[in-house]
Amino acid sequence: MVNKFLIAIVAIIAVMAALVVMPGIGSQPTQQELNIEYNRQNLTRLEDGRLVAASAEDLVIGNDRYAVYRNLTGPPDEKRFTISNEEMNGLKGLILTTGFMQVPGTDYLQKDGIVNLTKYTLKLESGSNSKTISWVNQGASEVSVPSIVRNIGTQLDAVIKGHA
């Protein structure tokens, strides 16, 4: 009987300790500074071989969650908004806690002869660290683009879709 009681007390203490430690683990990314600039271009190859932008967009998100979206083709279009804490924490989680800043390579080039493609450029600053990475959509890429890179692009596309 005493052993069961002692085990129950130890289990309760362990659960309480885990509850105290876990919020600190989950909040680490939100304490780190992160500034994001994301560019997306839909490109089409002309008969003479040149690639031209059918559309181009730019999204800048500051650490304060303030964002500016610009449509760079057609009539000037600029939207200013604030992203939610959940969106910013999701981005920080993808970028700062997954090891994204250590992903090898900075450019994932397109295959030769591709007629239509989407090109992405992501510039990140976190404290004294910075990273710029460029890639194209998976079907147009010369090499496999890491899924972590594509996931961040998808998350930023969702921010654009939800706010712009």
Question: Is the same domain home to 85 and 26?
Answer: no
150: domain range? 33-163
Question: Is the same domain home to 81 and 100?
Answer: yes
Q: Which residues contact 130 (CB under 8 A, 6 or more apart)?
A: 123, 124
Question: Is the same domain home to 119 and 105?
Answer: yes
Question: Is the same domain home to 8 and 54?
Answer: no
Question: What's the domain count of the chain?
Answer: 2
Question: Is the same domain home to 1 and 78?
Answer: no
Question: Is the same domain home to 105 and 155?
Answer: yes
pLDDT band at residue 11 under the 50/70/90 scheme: low
Name the amino acid, one letter, at 7.
I
What is the pLDDT at residue 102?
A: 77
Give this prediction's pTM. Answer: 0.78
Residue 120 has pLDDT above 90, yes or no: yes
CATH number, domain with residue 74? 3.30.1560.10
- Measure Cα distances from 2 to 8, 12, 60, 80, 92 in Å: 10, 15, 61, 64, 47
Residue 43: Cβ-neighbour burial (10 angstroms; 0-12, 13-18, 19+)? buried
- Measure Cα distances from 93 to 88, 144, 148 in Å: 8, 23, 11
